[in-house]
Amino acid sequence: MSMLMAALAGANMIYGLGMIDLGMTLDFSQIVVDHEIAKMVRKIIGGIPVNDETMAVDVIRHVGCGGHFLQEEHTVKHMREEQSFTSLFDRRPYGQWKAEGAKDLATRAHEKMLYILETHQPDLLDFGTMNILDQIIRDAEDAWA
């Protein structure tokens, strides 16, 4: 909630993802949860585009009062752009969630964190960037020698 409020107030940098205990502790699973929340906040801050395509007046006229829009090509096209999809926050009915193991948010975040740690292959820095960083380190070592 504080991330959303800060973003709505105009903050363009949010820090502290994964921090707990007033920043005295860092939890990798909490980073995963906070990242998911940050994606949702970014979506909210992005606003809702209002134009002829998104207003879909022609689709509304075609479907009419009492009809349903789920079969409309326009709905299918735009649903994924506007709907928030998450792998952490479970939106299934309670009975289905319970029958499929009842994994809570902490468990799903921990599993995703382990998967990331096991599979992520970071991009290597290019040679030029490495040289610049090496020079910064040498300059700092010389300054502190």
Q: What is the DSSP code string of 85-112?
A: --SSS--S-HHHHHHTT---HHHHHHHH
pLDDT tens for 75-89 read 999 988 888 788 899
pTM of this prediction? Answer: 0.75
* For range 38-54, the mean pLDDT: 92
Beta bridge partners of 26: 19
DSSP string, the chain: -HHHHHHHTT-S----TTEETTTTEE-HHHHHHHHHHHHHHHHHHT----SHHHH-HHHHHHH-TT--STT-HHHHHHHHHHS---SSS--S-HHHHHHTT---HHHHHHHHHHHHHHH--PPPPPHHHHHHHHHHHHHHHHHH-
Mean model confidence pLDDT for the chain: 93
Does 1 score more than 80 pLDDT? no
Rounded to whole angstroms, the Cα distance separating 29 from 131 reads 34
**How far are the Cα atoms of 12, 59, 84 from residue 4, in angstroms, in the given order?**
11, 33, 15
